[in-house]
Structure 1
Amino acid sequence: MSDQSSGSDTAAARDQKPDAVLHADIVPMVWFSCALAALAGLLFGMDIGVISGALPFIKQDFHVSTAMEGWIVSSMMVGAALGALMAGGISQRFGRRKALLYSSLLFFVGALVAVIAPNTTVLVIARILLGLAVGVASFTAPLYLSEVAPERIRGTTISFYQLMVTIGILAAFVSNLAFSYVESWRWMFGVLMIPAFMLFLGVLMVPTSPRWLAARDRFDEAREVLQRLRSSQAEVDYEMKEIQESVESESQSRGWDMFKENPNFRRSVMLGICLQLVQQFTGMNAIMYFAPQIFQLSGFEGTAAQLWSTVVTGLINVLATFIAIGFIDRLGRKPILYAGFTIMATSMAVLALILGIGPSTTFLQYTAMGALLIFVAGFAMSAGPLIWTLCAEIQPLHGRDFGISASTVSNWVGNFAVGQFFPVMIAGIGGTATFGILAGLNAVFIVLTFMLIPETKGISLESIEKKLMSGKALRNIGS
């Protein structure tokens, strides 16, 4: 089926919706629930950002080897992969809300263990605990947001989660800079306990996902929740009808059984895995984890100068995410991804070229820094928020926990590979070759976006599911 006919199907479907649904107001409870769920992103971001500032002082205190340095960074990703693997079962059995509560408790405990760690072994254990929390949160928060937000703002709310990730990274960079003057990496980790406690209290006040309730045949409760989240009875009735049709039309097999039995579900799972690996191999998290070392390669000497540079990086990361929030539900997912991958490929190529020449002058040093910041902006406006949005949108209801769990695990496996091998690549083949490879990968991702990724702007989750299960090409399951 062509994109044009798919678009016609979508337009026809939208025309059938009552005006009360198409133009309904967004009730405050939706924004409140989304804001509190997105707070998980703040912790996610802080956990990513804290290690870049803490690592130089950890190395100084514990005299760690290069191999142990890689483990201190990447152990969090091991925990995150395990957390994401468990999150599907936790979320399916206990609900999205309780999964977020468990995540906040793990964050608090992991941060506390890091603060009191007497050696690198205990610190690695703390990082694994923090990773478990991140894995559960990174799975559950986008899923919860996709299920409570109306379709017309779904992309915006999930992008808001990514905004909180970037704010968390910036907050960690600022905290790192502040505590660097007293050389206290323990306080850098201790700060994580504050938002963990806030998340726990906040999630106690948000409603359960109506789609999770419906998937467990608790339709009356699902309707009650929707009446708190939607502005009119017509909107509640319409959405409940779509949800019930989705539940009734699917086989009751779930998870792994559904993956084995249904080839269309396998396609959505594999697309989710592909999307998360794409996000990791843009190179963004490598830059965040090892930002001080990268600025050192670019000619900026001294811990203070490097940490100030990471604060600027974090600020750009936050500001550029507002581009995604402002345009994801206006322009759509694919145009923003095209722009983002183009920006990232070009900026990495420029950085590789400068490192090859040698940043021997002030002009070249600041050009290298500019290329790095432009890369960060390209990621923050595109692949950062949009990949999480798409992964939360493309999975059918009964397979959603399994599908998103699989894609989130792949994110953290890719993240682990980047954290473990990026410093080895820098040391082995040099910055020029490493960033040249990243430039090439981002160019390839432009082609993958065209070939595989659907446009899901303004399409209900149930409509995406129907097209997927009818066998339409992946790039056509949206509009």
Structure 2
Amino acid sequence: MPAGVSVTQGGKEYPGKLTPYVLATCIVAAMGGLIFGYDIGISGGVTSMPDFLSKFFPSVYKKEAVDTTVNQYCKFDSVTLTMFTSSLYVAALVASLVASIVTRKLGRKLSMLFGGLLFCVGAIINALAKDIAMLIVGRILLGFGVGFANQSVPLYLSEMAPYKYRGSLNIGFQLSITIGILIANVLNYFFAKIQDWGWRLSLGGAMVPAIIIIVGSLLLPDTPNSMIERGKRDEALIKLKRVRGVDDVEDEFNDLVVASENSKKVQHPWRNLLQRKYRPHLTMAIAIPFFQQLTGINVIMFYAPVLFKTIGFGDNASLMSAVITGVVNALATLVSIYGVDKWGRRFLFLEGGVQMFICQVVVAIFIGVKFGVSGTTENLPQWYAIVVVLFICIYVAAFAWSWGPLGWLVPSEIFPLEIRSAAQSITVAVNMFFTFVIAQIFLAMLCHLKFGLFLFFAFFVVVMSIFVYLFLPETKGVPIEEMSIVWKNHWFWGKYIPDEDLPHAASSLEMGKSKITQVL
């Protein structure tokens, strides 16, 4: 029985090329990922700064700096500290659902603008914070900004990019996230040396990526898909010709119009998501972000300084180790940009899963042997620390070219227009919900599971790899409005897709079948 379906070209090929205009547009739009990445990187860094801890979390500071009898695994276990970190993700969850309406009714770029404005206000409040209440309010506003940006940017990129380059251009969003993480880690390293107010610079620095997305959203054009959806067909045709760099865009334009007409017939996109024919899409909208968070990557990235400090690194060494993982994260994402439209989504998902599993098991063994369950040890030998960091870096690299970018790319490209905005909101909401859950319980899990925490995530990596092998079809090289052919020809999902929902009905189905390669 086939585990998946690889479609080499999809139902039809639209003329067009990658123009400098589209490339520049997608680069600017992808910078929306900077705000999410900067926050992931900055959070763990400031929570390892003594001045920040002593001001806002004195009980944690006492355990970390004064009380040497506390189990090493449990020094940072604090409900208030985890609430500071994870409150953003609850806010992002709520905002992503609201963003669905804004994105559909007013366009993708307006959602990006709202995201940038909200994030900027949150950054200002955090930089000026005098108590924990101000910190939490600032974090909530940051979360609203992240929710709007994460809902709209992947959609914008998938709709603007030519289908042959959709994977590479969409991954620009994940690349921006990794660059944001790296910049935050570098700034944390230097700002930590400034006593009393270095943490304010780290938190206030979030204004810079916010301003970038604000200015970028004002300069960006609307996508042809969004313009058609809002009744601007003549403008959309002109825009599509410019975007594709050719005048022969009738086939693609007509397909976009048909998709828009179908979309208008849908009065309740949220309710329609529950229809049988959308079951494959809804499953992926939930499963992919769920599994993405259970790789454990956000634990590594926004708790990296705390984690390295916990396993025996000093203050500066832990922040520098976080910088190293940030560099690896950014560089490895370039591998995905190169390979996603060359090797396909499934290959990167599966290879990354194997690599992450091996690294998590090795790290668990090394930490377990040295710290046991007591969490106490003599000074950590330098070579031992280097090995731990090395395997964490290999793990980060695997995520960066697989579940990192593909966790955003695949959901954004598989939904039909009539449910696209709502389904993308589901994807972001699920992602934010489980990011919140993992962030909220991580320090407690580290305290109770010790080194077994890495084995916990390794188990889920195995589960998600099996899921991808069996149920995720290959979407490489398939025009976004022709994606139903992929589902129809899948061994499991095909029974859910009615023939009348296929583009051009039977003729397209036959054309699609002629280009299908079964992946065993």
TM-score, scaled relative to structure 1: 0.93
Residue 249 of structure 1 and its aligned partner are, at CA, apart by 4.8
SS in 2 for 1:233: coil
Question: Are the counterparts in 2 of residues 451 and 475 from structure 1 also a CA contact under 8 Å?
Answer: no
| Distance in 2 (alpha carbons) for counterparts of 1:327 and 1:475 | 28
2:200 paired residue number: 186
Q: Relative to structure 1, is the Cα distance of residues 93 and 64 closer, same or farther in structure 2, using a 3 angstrom cutoff?
A: farther
- Structure 1 unmatched ranges of 5 or more: none
1:230 aligns with 2:228: no
Equivalent of 1:159 in 171, 179, 187: 171
1:349 paired residue number: 361
SS in 2 for 1:208: coil
Q: How many residues align?
A: 467
Residue 216 of structure 1 and its aligned partner are, at CA, apart by 3.0
In structure 2, what residue type is equivalent to 1:242?
Answer: D
Equivalent of 1:220 in 234, 253, 257: 234
In structure 2, what residue type is equivalent to 1:192?
Answer: A
In structure 2, what residue type is equivalent to 1:196?
Answer: A
SS in 2 for 1:13: coil
1:330 paired residue number: 342
| Distance in 2 (alpha carbons) for counterparts of 1:291 and 1:49 | 9
| Distance in 2 (alpha carbons) for counterparts of 1:429 and 1:11 | 47
Question: Are the counterparts in 2 of residues 84 and 405 from structure 1 also a CA contact under 8 Å?
Answer: yes
Equivalent of 2:24 in 21, 32, 35: 32
Question: Are the counterparts in 1 of residues 125 and 138 from structure 2 also a CA contact under 8 Å?
Answer: yes
Higher relative contact order (CA 8 A, sep 6+): 2
| Distance in 2 (alpha carbons) for counterparts of 1:210 and 1:164 | 24
2:277 paired residue number: 264
In structure 1, what residue type is equivalent to 2:477?
Answer: G
In structure 1, what residue type is equivalent to 2:190?
Answer: A
1:370 paired residue number: 390
1:298 aligns with 2:318: no
Question: Are the counterparts in 2 of residues 453 and 474 from structure 1 also a CA contact under 8 Å?
Answer: no
2:71 paired residue number: none
Equivalent of 1:398 in 415, 418, 423: 418
1:289 aligns with 2:302: yes
Equivalent of 1:385 in 393, 396, 405: 405
Residue 242 of structure 1 and its aligned partner are, at CA, apart by 1.9
| Distance in 2 (alpha carbons) for counterparts of 1:470 and 1:350 | 39
| Distance in 2 (alpha carbons) for counterparts of 1:293 and 1:198 | 29
| Distance in 2 (alpha carbons) for counterparts of 1:272 and 1:172 | 29
Computed over aligned residues only, the root mean square deviation of the Cα atoms, in angstroms, reads 2.2
1:55 paired residue number: 47
| Distance in 1 (alpha carbons) for counterparts of 2:10 and 2:205 | 51
Structure whose residues are more often helix by fraction: 1
Q: Deviations over 1:143-172 (max 9, x none)?
A: 100011110111001111100100000000
Residue 294 of structure 1 and its aligned partner are, at CA, apart by 1.6
Q: Relative to structure 1, is the Cα distance of residues 254 and 157 closer, same or farther in structure 2, using a 3 angstrom cutoff?
A: farther
1:437 aligns with 2:456: yes
Q: Deviations over 1:103-153 (max 9, x none)?
A: 110111010010111101110110111011011111110010001111011
Question: Are the counterparts in 2 of residues 348 and 435 from structure 1 also a CA contact under 8 Å?
Answer: yes
SS in 1 for 2:219: coil
TM-score, scaled relative to structure 2: 0.86
2:11 paired residue number: 13
SS in 1 for 2:210: helix
| Distance in 1 (alpha carbons) for counterparts of 2:204 and 2:361 | 38
1:117 aligns with 2:109: no
Which structure has the greater CA radius of gyration? 2
1:411 aligns with 2:425: no
2:216 paired residue number: 202
Question: Are the counterparts in 2 of residues 215 and 398 from structure 1 also a CA contact under 8 Å?
Answer: no
SS in 2 for 1:405: helix
Residue 11 of structure 1 and its aligned partner are, at CA, apart by 4.8
| Distance in 2 (alpha carbons) for counterparts of 1:471 and 1:356 | 43
SS in 2 for 1:117: coil
Q: Relative to structure 1, is the Cα distance of residues 429 and 467 closer, same or farther in structure 2, using a 3 angstrom cutoff?
A: closer
| Distance in 1 (alpha carbons) for counterparts of 2:316 and 2:161 | 42
| Distance in 2 (alpha carbons) for counterparts of 1:215 and 1:473 | 31
Q: Deviations over 1:261-294 (max 9, x none)?
A: x212233122111100110010000111211222
1:144 aligns with 2:163: no
**% identity of equivalent residues:** 32
In structure 2, what residue type is equivalent to 1:223?
Answer: L
| Distance in 2 (alpha carbons) for counterparts of 1:280 and 1:53 | 20
Question: Are the counterparts in 1 of residues 9 and 477 from structure 2 also a CA contact under 8 Å?
Answer: no
Query: Please, which moves more after superposition, 166-175 or 361-370?
Result: 361-370
Residue 192 of structure 1 and its aligned partner are, at CA, apart by 1.2
1:318 paired residue number: 330
Question: Are the counterparts in 1 of residues 473 and 490 from structure 2 also a CA contact under 8 Å?
Answer: no
In structure 1, what residue type is equivalent to 2:102?
Answer: I
| Distance in 1 (alpha carbons) for counterparts of 2:487 and 2:460 | 28
Residue 64 of structure 1 and its aligned partner are, at CA, apart by 4.5
SS in 2 for 1:347: helix
1:279 paired residue number: 292
SS in 2 for 1:130: helix
2:64 paired residue number: none
1:428 paired residue number: 448
Q: Deviations over 1:152-207 (max 9, x none)?
A: 11100111110010000000001111110004111101111122112211221111
2:111 paired residue number: 99
In structure 2, what residue type is equivalent to 1:448?
Answer: F
- Structure 2 unmatched ranges of 5 or more: 60-77, 372-379, 498-511
Residue 12 of structure 1 and its aligned partner are, at CA, apart by 7.3
1:42 aligns with 2:55: no
